[in-house]
Amino acid sequence: MNKVKTSSEKSSRTMSLLSQLEKINVDSVLGEADNARYVTSKILHLVQSQEKTRKEMTAKGSTGIEVILSTLENTKDHQTILNILNILIEVVSVGGGRRASVLVTKGGTQILLQLLLTASKDSPPNEELMVLLHTLLAKIGPKDKKIGMKARINGALNISLNLVKQNLQNHRLILPCLQVLRVYSTNSVNAVSLGKNGVVELMFKIIGPFSKKNTSLMKVALDTLAALLKSKTNARRAVDRGYVEVLLTIYIDWHRHDSRHRYMLIRKGVLQCIKSVTTIKLGRKAFIDANGMKILYNTSQECLAVRTLDPLVNTSSLIMRKCFPKNRLPLPTIKSAFHFQLPVIPASGPVAQLYNLPPDVDDVVDESDDNDDAETESEIEIENDDDKDQIFKNDDIETDINKLKPRQELGRSIEDLKMYEHFFPELSENFQECDLVSKEPKPFVPDANLGGPIVVPTAGEEHSAEVNQSTKGVILKESNPLLTEEYNRRPAFLELPKKDSIKDSSSSHQQNDQRNLLPSCQCLSQEIVEGLDKITLQNSAKNDPYCDTGCVIKKESKTSLTTLACNKPCEHVSPCGNSLFEGSSVQLGKLCCTGVDSEEEDSKSSSSGEQIVLEVSDVSPVHDCDLYIEMVKTTKSIPEYSEVAYPDYFGHIPPPYKEPILERPYGVQRTKIAQDIERLIHQSDIIDRVVYDLDNLSCSVSEEADVLKFNSKFESGNLRKVIQIRKNEYDLILNSDINSNHYHQWFYFEVSGMKTGIGYRFNIINCEKSNSQFNYGMQPLMYSVQEALNSRPCWTRVGTDICYYKNHFSRSSIAAGGQKGKSYYTITFTVTFQHKDDVCYFAYHYPYTYSTLKMHLQKLESMHNPQQIYFRQDILCETLAGNSCPLVTITAMPESSYYEHICQFRNRPYIFLSARVHPGETNASWVMKGTLEYLMSNNPSAQCLRESYIFKIIPMLNPDGVINGNHRCSLSGEDLNRQWQNPNPDLHPTIYHAKGLLQYLAAIKRLPLVYCDYHGHSRKKNVFMYGCSIKETMWHTNVNAVSSDLMEDPGYRALPKILSQTAPAFCMGSCSFVVEKSKESTARVVVWREIGVQRSYTMESTLCGCDQGKYKGLQIGTRELEEMGAKFCVGLLRLKRMASPLEFSLPSNLLDIENELIESSCKVTSPTTYVLDEDEPRFLEEVDYSAESNDDQDIELADNAGDYEVPNQEDGLSDSDSTRVLLS
């Protein structure tokens, strides 16, 4: 028993000493100073020798720190004070910031500052006491956010400053004093006050050229100076005294002498000072005048070989980017190159501002003077009482419960809504004259227009290209004998007209009455293909009875056709390759040189016809080249396009291989920025030649010039201007949306004249978003005509060294919605072409034109079985440009004309779908294509789905925007998905009438079960949904009292949950059901709130790829997008089964809403700028490759100056796994 007691006494020795100390404080007996000195010395000994003691003193519930601080506050004994300061230094030196925080919370800062004030009155002050006090303040200061204000109120600021001034040679004393000054300077008011007292000049007495002596002091002085120079007042003072040039001289000296890189922290400290001073315009000018760009560029290039020097390279790069003179975007105006006069000018908003601009205003120049606004001498101090790490707060979330509650408002009279009655004939059709199937469908006789069965898209089947083609080819051939004939009479991928419209040069094969055109590789010789420049398709060809579609091959050069069996020239060759025939005509872009050999057509055996079928079997059954041309002829564009892009004409087959998300090369962004900086340093190396310009159509490049040729004058094309920068580098400028001056993201253009084995760099220099998935593995798309002619007609992901970063082109406040000093961003990628003189197309995402939609709908209509499928295509309205907006109705025909079957038919619930309100989100159209093809397929579940619902579908809400290559707006210059609250019938006809259809359904009490608007998302991965929930919105505003009383049917979560279980690309974790103020006029919110549809969604599909599920690590393709469209239908079928009368409640595991909400941390942010007014919250990737800075985090270095600071990580984050940072 005694043994245990002894052990216990031993372990509580510290507590016993602290008790004695507390008793001494309470008794305050004279002569107790010796006892206090003795006890504190004993505690100091224990603290220095035992970590256990340090833990005990700061453990939860311990009063040790309070006793120590109380003694420090009350004692007058000098040695006791020194003992206690040493104790506290030992306690906080180990254990991270937690122990320092304990000291702060116990009031330690105030006590220490008071002690400092008292000690400073001694003359001279006690050096040992001052060293200890400042050392301790430097350690706990970073944990006390109000230390700057406390020091200023207590009058402690100048005590430390005067100590430094009076003891410049006493390095032991001024080192901790400088550390404390650095802490004080984080407060802007303190920094200004210290600056007025000469602290900046003082720092320049301490720092200097290379020396191995006192490097710790040099490092601390530099860090203090960098903190002080963040104050604009101090920065101006430094510039006025010529210190920018001094800093550059010091940096060069240390760079040259530190050959073994032992003093990197000092070198970086100098750079941090330069970085701080160049925050102001005067600093940037002084930096440029001192030749700083060249100095930092050269020194950083010398550091590239050593990976550990990356912090220096990154900081240098940041400074150079900041000081790079802002350039004007090389355009006459930021408004679109195309003009469309609106029938009505909005009273307010961006479009009104655009129309009200005086004609002589230069809307390109940045009038903001580098955002260096007038600064007052007394800078405003922001005392932030809030914790910076506070829980995420979003001011955009709607908090008004009355605004959140759905309120069914028709908004239009019943009489007015009757105009939509004719769009719903299915509600009154009696089918008495129709030949309906009874229980089983009658034998279906294929119509001559039938193109074969519709293959339901699925990305799950992964076969080799050969197996896949042959299998499907046989299926197609067996299922419809007409297919063989159709494919035999058309070249495989250069889809020429169905009848012989080309009089072959070979006299032995002019059989115009037969449909026997062979693939292009067999019927076109190399010389002919080389001579082909344009193919013009006219409405009629009266001189040739066999030219039903009027295909005319026009030849640019008079190449001799000697390789053919007969030298008879082609009758339709024209020497002028670029001219257009009169009348309505459509022109295909340049055809590349195929390099294929001509063969005798007679030598092809009968098996070759089968081979053709196999070759084209993967072509979508709804793609018809000839029909596409016919559709193009009725499409109305503002520039009056007369050319057709080959990818849209040939069609697209998903490649047979996977396309993984691109791994980002280390330091790629830094390298690209360095190359941009070279433009300023080595201006003589820049070609600066305009090679394409929509604003100057007379701009031409010599045919002999070794330069790429560009074109975007075709449907959905977007490329405004191209400038050759270096031999193989081009700056590209995108066109604004019509009647707008921004929204640059969608691109689609043609490139030709390339060579092989050369890396061509393309820079799209006027992007506006602050970050992009191009920084996270997304690649642009390329389509090679040469590959298409070689039976590989597909868009493929291409490009290396891809990144997205802020550039030096300034954005005027007119372009940035009034915000000043904004810059544009660059997408850069490098491509090496496979074929010489190929014709290639580049696009932001898989193009899907308006003409393609019309072709697909017409093919679907011609291919469906009218005995089984009710398919109806109406024109909802005409757009501003006069294009029709299709409205599609799909359901199953009634089993018979009996009353019961007709009733069942009419009473099916509605599903209302829409897509492509934003033209640049082409993936939405591919998802819609998957939906439409699934609904029209022979799949038994598709038939079940048709029997369950009536589908009303508007597959393209913004035809004009799509046709004219807009990214976000219609011809009105407005985002149509922000017009649903109050659409204008003259400016937003498609939205006005789409809403009218829904209002009509609400008026006749036939609310859709589901409304879903298909979108694309540029900044997140996977496919996901946004829905609407009052309760979840209130939860995210932390209004628990209100939300706990709310009763809400959780059924809105059912469909997304089903899709997360059935669709591989769908991610439930990315879904959000929060209603935001900025989204109150979107389709999703308006249909939910005003129309009363509970299941109202936006379905967002990634433009990049997936980071979960089956497709994790892969970029998304059309196969996966179409599969998503089909899976959406399957989800609706499951929803129907779950909601059937047999199952009154949804499965609990499907709608475990409470748990999911507790577990999830759905962060939704409102748009950050005027031009980012989108349905896109900021994405949170695993690594933040900031487009604002470099992409490489500083590697942590051994700190020669001690452990007083945490390594600075403000220069971006690294690609490498070792420095990967998880964002919470």
Q: What residues act catalytically?
A: 1100
Alpha-carbon distance 179 to 171, whole Å? 12
20: its two tokens? 């004695």
As a whole number of angstroms, the distance between CA 766 and CA 330 comes to 10
DSSP 1216: S
**Rounded CA gap, 172 and 442, in Å?**
101
**Assigned token pair, 390:** 């506070």
Are residues 1199 and 677 in contact, defined by beta-carbon separation less than 8 angstroms? no
Secondary structure of 330-362 in HEC code, one letter for each residue: CCCCCCCCCCCCCCCCCCCCHHHHHHHCCCCCC
**CA distances (Å), 333 to each of 734, 811, 1208, in order?**
12, 12, 42
Q: What is the rounded CA–CA span in Å between residue 861 and residue 859?
A: 5
Q: Mapped to the 3 state alphabet, what secondary structure does 515-563 carry?
A: CCCCCHHHHCCHHHHHHEEEEEEECCCCCCCCCCCCEEEEECCCCCCCC
Answer for the pair 312, 268: CB distance below 8 angstroms, yes or no.
yes
H/E segment holding residue 947: helix 940-948
1198-1207 long-range Cβ contacts below 8 angstroms, 24+ apart: 1199/219, 1199/265, 1200/215, 1200/216, 1200/219, 1200/262, 1200/263, 1200/265, 1201/215, 1201/216, 1201/219, 1201/220, 1201/265, 1202/216, 1203/93, 1204/138, 1204/139, 1204/179, 1204/220, 1205/223
Distance CA 306, CA 573 (A): 62
DSSP alpha helix (H) spans, 1063-1152: 1083-1086, 1118-1138
| C-alpha triplet 163, 166, 172: angle, nearest 5° | 65
First to last CA, the chain: 53
Give yes or no for a contact between 647 and 847, defined as CB atoms under 8 angstroms apart.
Answer: yes
Q: Under a CB-based contact definition with an 8 Å cutoff, are residues 558 and 632 in contact?
A: no
CB of 964 closer than 8 Å to CB of 639: yes
User: What's the farthest any 2 CA atoms get from each other in the chain?
Assistant: 129
Query: Residues for the chain: how many in total?
Result: 1224
Rg (C-alpha) for the chain, rounded Å, is 37
Q: Helices H, strands E: what count in the chain?
A: 45, 22
* Residue position matching structure tokens 């796994």: 1217
**How many Å apart are CA 710 and CA 226, to the nearest integer?**
48
- Beta carbons of 1212 and 1195 less than 8 angstroms apart: no
Q: Which residues contact 544 (CB under 8 A, 6 or more apart)?
A: 501, 503
Reference 987, options 974, 996, 997, 978; nearest CA is 974
Whole-angstrom distance, CA of residue 372 vs CA of residue 283: 11
- The span from the CA of 890 to the CA of 858, in Å, is 14
- Chain mean position to CA 336: 23
Determine the Cα–Cα distance for residues 132 and 117; give it in Å rounded to an integer: 14
Q: How far apart are CA 849 and CA 922, in angstroms?
A: 8
